[in-house]
Structure 1
Amino acid sequence: MDIAVRIETWPLVHPFRITGWTYEAIEVVAVTLRDGDYRGRGEAAGVDYLGDTPASVAATIASMQDAFRSGMDRQRLQSLLQPGGARNALDCALWDLDAARSGRPVWQEAGVRAPKPRLTTWTIGAEPPAVVGERAKEYAGARAIKLKLISDGQDAARVRAARAARPDIWLGVDGNQGFSRATLEQIMPALVEARVELIEQPLPLDRDADLDGFVSPIPLAADESAQGLASIATLSGAFSVVNIKLDKCGGLTEALEMVEAVRARGMQVMVGNMLGTSLAMAPAFIVGQLCDIVDLDGPLLLSRDRSPSVEYRDGMVWCSEDIWGGAWRPAHVHENG
Structure 2
Amino acid sequence: MTSSRSPRFAARIERWPIAGAFTISRGSKTEAVTVIAEISQGGHTGRGECVPYPRYGETPEATLAALRAAQRALRGRPGREGLQRVLPAGAARNALDCALLDLEAKTRGQRAWELLGRAEPRACTTAFTISLGTPEAMAAATAKAANRPLLKIKLGGEGDAERIAAVRKEAPESELIVDANEAWTAADLEHNLAACAAVGVTLVEQPLPAGQDEALARIRRPVAVCADESVHDRASLEGLRERYDAINIKLDKAGGVSEALAMADAAQALGFEIMVGCMVGTSLSMAPAMLLTPQARFVDLDGPLLLAKDREHGLRYEGSTVYPPEPALWG
CA distance in 1, matches of 2:305, 2:126: 11
| The 10-residue stretch of structure 1 (137-146 or 117-126) with the greater mean CA deviation from structure 2 | 137-146
Answering whether residue 170 of structure 2 is matched by residue 144 of structure 1, we say no
2:69 aligns to what? 63
1:195 aligns to what? 200
CA RMSD of aligned residues (A): 1.3
Runs of 5+ consecutive residues of structure 1 not aligned to the other structure: 327-337
CA distance in 1, matches of 2:166, 2:318: 24
| The 10-residue stretch of structure 1 (208-217 or 257-266) with the greater mean CA deviation from structure 2 | 208-217
Q: Secondary structure at the match of 1:262?
A: helix
* Amino acid paired to 1:194: V
The answer (yes or no) to whether the contact 1:121–1:146 under 8 Å persists in 2 is: yes
Answering whether residue 139 of structure 2 is matched by residue 133 of structure 1, we say yes
Answering whether residue 178 of structure 2 is matched by residue 176 of structure 1, we say no
Q: Secondary structure at the match of 1:94?
A: helix
1:81 aligns to what? 87
CA distance in 2, matches of 1:323, 1:287: 20
| The 10-residue stretch of structure 1 (187-196 or 81-90) with the greater mean CA deviation from structure 2 | 187-196
TM-score (normalised: structure 2): 0.95
The answer (yes or no) to whether the contact 1:196–1:218 under 8 Å persists in 2 is: yes
* Amino acid paired to 2:250: K
1:257 aligns to what? 262
Task: Report the CA distance between 1:323 and its aligned residue.
Answer: 4.8
CA distance in 2, matches of 1:75, 1:130: 50
Answering whether residue 46 of structure 2 is matched by residue 40 of structure 1, we say yes
Task: Report the CA distance between 1:169 and its aligned residue.
Answer: 0.7
The answer (yes or no) to whether the contact 2:94–2:254 under 8 Å persists in 1 is: yes
1:1-337 equivalence runs, <5 A: 1-153=7-159, 155-326=160-331
The answer (yes or no) to whether the contact 2:304–2:310 under 8 Å persists in 1 is: yes
* Amino acid paired to 1:298: G
* Amino acid paired to 2:260: A
CA distance in 1, matches of 2:217, 2:319: 39
Q: Secondary structure at the match of 1:211?
A: helix
CA distance in 2, matches of 1:16, 1:323: 28
* Amino acid paired to 2:161: A
The answer (yes or no) to whether the contact 2:146–2:170 under 8 Å persists in 1 is: no
TM-score (normalised: structure 1): 0.93
Q: Secondary structure at the match of 1:151?
A: coil
* Amino acid paired to 2:190: E
CA distance in 2, matches of 1:223, 1:65: 29
Identity of aligned residues (%): 38
The answer (yes or no) to whether the contact 2:90–2:255 under 8 Å persists in 1 is: yes
Deviations 1:11-68 (A, max 9, x none): 1112111112111112100111111301100000123201112111111001123223
Deviations 1:128-158 (A, max 9, x none): 11221221121255210011100032x1222
Q: Alignment length, in residue pairs?
A: 325
Deviations 1:224-282 (A, max 9, x none): 00011110112151201010000001000000000111011111111000111000000
The answer (yes or no) to whether the contact 2:38–2:47 under 8 Å persists in 1 is: yes
CA distance in 2, matches of 1:138, 1:289: 29
The answer (yes or no) to whether the contact 1:85–1:247 under 8 Å persists in 2 is: yes
* Amino acid paired to 1:62: R
CA distance in 1, matches of 2:321, 2:242: 31
CA distance in 2, matches of 1:208, 1:43: 31
* Amino acid paired to 1:128: T
